[in-house]
Amino acid sequence: MLRSMRLLRWSLALLLLLAGPALAAAPVTLLRVDGAIGPASADYLLRGLEHARDEGAQLVVLELDTPGGLDTSMRAIIKAILASPIPVATYVTPSGARAASAGTYMLYASHVAAMAPGTNLGAATPVQIGGMPGAPPEQPQGERDEPSKPPGDAMSRKQVNDAAAYIRGLAQLRGRNAEWAEQAVREAVSLSASEALEQKVIDYLARDVADLLRQLDGTTLATVEGDATLSTAEAPLIEHAPDWRGGPRGGGCACWR
């Protein structure tokens, strides 16, 4: 009898030992963009999502502080987020940071939109690179043609209408405030983090990454490959800092909160 009990204890201990790695939470990949959105940051984020898949990550957290950037780079990033089988949480941090212009679109595209206290987003009206359009040629004296709108106006209206439809579609996809999103494009309005949470522009207000992961624990998110339930309260972080290309260094830095 005593021998049987000992064998049972050893068997249970062995099972727990073998089950340990399987029960451990999948990692969370941590990326960081601090500055304008351009080709380098797009390359970094796209490669970061690839690293996350290779690492078996359950979630990608993108820490963001940007004044905006190029439309083409922003759209490449958003396409990658929308197609990602791993949910992406874009988190505007630290306090004093912003997700202006292109950053607002990225927040709306992400599976999770979060901000730290003391941050802001908005002012998402598209602007032309290279300054204001040139003035129309002067009319010879004596001609009294009806005033016409500058040729750049039609193009500006097209850009604004396209951008408004784009961000409204992202808002509807993620169930966020579509009316305010369109205002951010057409009227360049902005919100503080607390106002954004109150108006359902974002999903979470978090002091830091650890606080965000605690709030996300147990949440189920829809991805292109189906629903994913997060187990982030005790998940290890794998951080990928940008390298000289603006992309994540291979291997990453495994960290614990």
Domain-located, residue 11: no
The pLDDT of residue 253 is 43
Q: Is 16 helix (H, G, I), strand (E, B) or coil?
A: helix
Domain-located, residue 49: yes
Six token digits for residue 242 = 């940008």
Cα separation, 233 vs 230, whole angstroms: 9
Domain-located, residue 15: no
The pLDDT of residue 130 is 35
Note the pLDDT tens digit of each residue in 94-139.
999 999 999 999 999 999 999 999 999 999 999 865 332 333 344 4
- Percentage, residues of the chain above pLDDT 90: 73
Domain-located, residue 178: yes
In terms of DSSP bridges, do strands 253-255 and 237-239 run parallel, antiparallel, or are they unpaired? antiparallel
Beta strands in 86-134 (DSSP E): 88-92, 98-100, 112-115, 120-122
The pLDDT of residue 21 is 43
Note the pLDDT tens digit of each residue in 143-184.
445 454 555 588 889 999 999 999 999 999 999 999 999 999
- Which residues are tagged catalytic? 101, 158
Q: What angle do CA 47, 52, 54 make, to 5 degrees?
A: 95
Domain-located, residue 78: yes
Domain-located, residue 12: no
Domain range for residue 57? 26-125+151-255
How sure is the predictor about 20, in pLDDT bands with cuts at 50, 70 and 90?
A: very low
Q: Is 139 helix (H, G, I), strand (E, B) or coil?
A: coil
For residue 97, give the CATH number of its domain.
3.90.226.10
Number of structural domains found in the chain: 1
Domain-located, residue 143: no
pLDDT at 30 over 80: yes
The pLDDT of residue 83 is 98
pTM score above 0.85:
no
